[in-house]
Amino acid sequence: MHELTVARRLVDRAVATARDHDADRIDALTVRIGAATHVVPDQIAFCIETIAEGTPAEDATVRFERVPARGECACGWAGELDTLADTVAGAPDRRCPECGGGVTLTAGTECGLTRIETPDPRDTHP
């Protein structure tokens, strides 16, 4: 299950970044996931929730930004790739819709944190 490894990397990076900015709590994480990564957002959210227990990311809201798979073909075609319906993660079809040849991915392989939200340090609660 590579989602567990991905989630561990995301939580570790979020916690390190929060600590670098003197934040003792993370309110929300935004994760960008490309369609060609085969990463399932629901599984990532579950793994993050489990891994984050006892860390500043415990109870953080997890949001996702999906990046569609895009590609280019030697025939000149470029565009968004359709996803294959018979796969668990909706993997992109890497065949050119114009000529049937293979395409080179140009987008959709991203997987990482894009935003970490922490409480405003100016907020004080008596």
Query: Which residues are annotated as part of the binding site?
Result: 2, 73, 75, 96, 99
14-26 average pLDDT score: 92
Report the C-alpha gap between 61 and 26 in whole angstroms. Answer: 9
Annotated binding site for Zn(2+): 73, 75, 96, 99
Binding residues for Ni(2+): 2
> Does 83 have pLDDT greater than 80?
no
pTM score? 0.79
CA dihedral 93, 62, 116, 106 (to 10 degrees): 0
Q: Which residue has the tokens 């114009």?
A: 98
Tell me: the pLDDT tens digits for 91-122?
667 889 899 898 899 999 999 999 999 987 65
What the chain holds in terms of domains, given with CATH numbers, is 2-117 (3.30.2320.80)
